[in-house]
A and B are shown apart, each in its own frame.
Chain A
Amino acid sequence: MDEKKSFLKHLEAWVDGEEVILDADKYISTRTKKEKRSWRHHFTIQYVKENKKLYGILSIGISVLFIAIMLSVVNSLPEYGNAHNPANNEVMERYLESGIEETGAINFVAGMILDYRAFDTFGESNVLFLAVMCVVLLLKKDKNNYSEQEEQEIQEDDYFDTNEKHPILQIGAKLITPLVILYGIYVILNGHLSPGGGFSGGTIIGAGLILYASAYGQKKMQSFFTFRTFTKICVSGLLTYCACKSYSFFTGANHVGYEIPKGIAGNILSSGFILPLNICVGLIVACTMYGFYALFTKGDI
């Protein structure tokens, strides 16, 4: 193995299994380490401190270059508000002219993302769900990736959470959390009437849950929000979304046959399926936000 082979020959031998190292542990412990050659070696903090002038000139030059590129890009942008801009095409006209009539939502953005482009939003919710599932795969604690030291740390954290002498954070969380969650619910339910909707409202609810969990600890949170409720809420939200939106596929992608009653535009119970879809998206986003927090801090929901 000392002679130099070409990369392809190495690969062939590796695939055939000829390059197996016997006693790999012994080999790893005895081999000489490769000298690491990286740019960090040349540009240490010491080097920067010695050559302050060069560093200043370089940083100013790079900043000026970037500013020039950005300004030139801004200069070549079409004028704001021009009627002949490429953004002003028939799609925008259609949305603005017949958006309320076709979707029943006063908030055009909600009408767009939850009616015209509902499948796009469905994909986004699935992406969130998949991301949190990947984090669960990697970080959820079980017998194989769990040491006694971690358990001791978690017990210390619980001790600090429960035996607080000056519970300023807990009193604050008690005051603020209900208001935050209430505001999130308002944003979700008013998604088709005012700016907001499932994603922003769900994020606000998730922030409220994170605040509560960080003030009162994992154990108190698990009295009403366990891993089972988390998966149930996420999966039922996604399935409801899927069922609500499949109707337009099964009716020929054109809402033919059965028309959902739109109601009077401006009422809270209007605009067809947009309200339940907003609720589904909001639940998924809230669970995802809290799930990320809980998994990254404690390794368990």
Chain B
Amino acid sequence: MREAIAAIFIIFGLIVFLISIFGIFRFKYVLNRMHAAALGDTLGLGLIVVGLMIYSLNFFVVAKLLLIILFFWLSAPIATHSIAKVEVLTNKNYEERVREK
């Protein structure tokens, strides 16, 4: 039973990752693409790690997996923010591109 629940979580995470990969290839503008990539980094990774937690249910394993989630949810938004800032600061006609696509 526990393994089945864990499998459901992991499969949902993989589906989210698949959607985010489709999004990265479908969108053409940097900021849109970043939105798609962040989906996999936050929700997909979170679902997979929660599935692994349910699968193992050992205190130390759960603590280490929590650290992984914490690290990713702390670092991914910062990286995304930096990329978006560089895009806005350096791309001079970005308003046109936003309107077009």
Contacts and interface: CB of A to CB of B under 8 A. Distances in A.
B75 interface: yes
Interface in B44-81: 71, 74-75, 78, 81
Interface stretch (A41-49, A168-176, A196-204, A289-297): A168-176
Contacts of A172: 74-75, 78
A176 B78 CA distance: 11
Contacts of B74: 172, 175-176
Contacts of A168: 78, 81
Q: What DSSP secondary structure best describes chain A's contact surface?
A: helix
Contacts of A175: 74
B2 to A, nearest CB: 28
Contacts of B75: 172, 176
B41 to A, nearest CB: 15
Q: What DSSP secondary structure best describes chain B's contact surface?
A: helix
B32 interface: no
Q: How large is the interface on A (under 10, 10 to 19, 20 to 34, 35 or more residues)?
A: under 10
A242 to B, nearest CB: 37
A168 B77 CA distance: 10
B90 to A, nearest CB: 11
A215 B75 CA distance: 13
Nearest to A160: B89
Nearest to B78: A172
A172 B72 CA distance: 12
Contacts of B81: 168-169
Interface in A166-185: 168-169, 172-173, 175-176
A173 to B, nearest CB: 8
Nearest to B75: A176
B91 to A, nearest CB: 16
Nearest to A172: B78
A116 B20 CA distance: 47
Contacts of B78: 168-169, 172-173
A172 B78 CA distance: 7
Interface string A152-195: 00000000000000001100110110000000000000000000
Interface in B23-37: none
A120 B74 CA distance: 39
A175 B78 CA distance: 12
Nearest to A179: B71
B85 to A, nearest CB: 8
A173 B74 CA distance: 10
A175 B75 CA distance: 10
Q: Please indicate which of the listed interface residues B74, B78, B81 has the most CB atoms of chain A within 10 Å of its own CB.
A: B78
A169 B71 CA distance: 14
Interface of A: 168-169, 172-173, 175-176
Instruction: Please list the 3 inter-chain residue pairs (A to B) with the smallest Cβ-Cβ separation, ordered nearest first.
Output: A172-B78, A168-B81, A169-B82
Given A169-B78, A169-B82, 11 more contacts: A168-B78, A168-B81, A169-B81, A172-B74, A172-B75, A172-B78, A173-B78, A175-B74, A176-B71, A176-B74, A176-B75
6 contacts: A168-B81, A169-B78, A169-B81, A169-B82, A172-B74, A172-B78
